[in-house]
Structure formats: structure tokens, C-alpha cells
Amino acid sequence: MIFKETSLKDAFTVQIEKIEDNRGYFATTFAIPDFEAHGLNAQIRQTSSSFNKTKGTIRGMHFQLPPYAETKLVRCVRGAIYDVIVDLRPNSPTFKKWQGFELSESNMLMYYIPEGFAHGYQTLTDNAEVAYMLGQIYSPQHARGIRHDDEEIGIKWTLPLAEISQRDAALPSLKELMEVEAVMRG
């Protein structure tokens, strides 16, 4: 695997290295020592997948609060997606910055997303399937999200919006979320 730092602090793309022969290929998609060698959290507590019927579908932008903050290793195993992360760590030099990469079954690129980042994606093809390895289990009471079209963040999605869940469409802006969380903390 080839690890490349992105412009957002602590986030990486991971390129799978294929060993090919006349049968096809073999590739390692996860190895704890490789992730630890790059200082990354290699704990996997849950794996999940999502399937999306329609090109232009947006899922996100999701994250979890501590103690259920999660790392994610995301890969598109069928079709293609535009995968986006936003740094939500107030003390980070890349706070409120976003970055996106195309992940597809053909490029076999993965995205390592550290704790404290919101994550979402838009499907670039019909019938896109995404596989996740998560460093933490899903905890509904710790699950949060911000709007995919938050003007302060300014994500530039690649296609017009085709589908989004009611839940994701109703997510607050980052500013609204921070105000609510501050009130909840007292």
C-alpha cells in the first residue's frame, strides 16, 4: 500500500498495490503494521457498506462525538464516488477546510479519515457501493452531521444533487451545530 498525506492534516489516501498475473490480481487492502508505521489508528471495530442506486446521490456529512469519535477507511468497490472530508477539529491548522477525491472500483484508491472529520460523498455512477472500515462502533447518541451545502465550508460537489435522505437534508450548518453543542455542554 502507498500512503500519501493529503492537504488536510492527518488525512491520507491509500493506494492499493496489485500483484497481477494471468488469473487477475491479489492486493492487500489493510495491514495493521503498515497503518501503525504511518502513525495512523489501525483499530477496526466495525465494517459497513452502503449501496446507492442513483448517480448524484449525496450521503453526509457525518461524524461521531467522543468517546465514539471514529476513524474511517473508505473504498468504493463498485462504480465511482466523489469522497469528501471536512476538518472539524478547532485546534487544527486545517480547521473548516475540505478536500475530495474520486474513489472508484477502477482506481482502487482508499481514503483514511481521522477522528474529528466530517465525511460524505456523492455518487458519480449509478449502482455505487462503498465499503467502510471504522475505528469505532456506530453510536446513535454520538452521531452528528453538518449540511452538505454549508456555505461557510463551500464544498464543490461534482454533479447536481439527485438524491439525499431527509435526515441529511435537515442537518445543521457547522455554525448552528457548534452553537447547539455549546448550549448542550452548558
Residue 132: active-site member: yes
Q: Which of 62, 68, 82, 111 is catalytic?
A: 62
Cα 133 from Cα 25, distance rounded (Å) = 22
Q: Which segments within the chain are labelled E, that is strand?
A: 2-5, 12-15, 18-21, 24-27, 46-52, 58-64, 72-78, 80-87, 98-104, 109-113, 117-123, 128-134, 143-145
Residue 62: active-site member: yes
Q: Which of 121, 132, 138, 148 is catalytic?
A: 132
What's the half-sphere exposure (Cβ side, CA atoms, 13 Å) at 106? 6
Q: What is the DSSP string of 20-56?
A: EETTEEEE----HHHHHHTT------EEEEEEE-STT
Which residues carry out catalysis?
62, 132
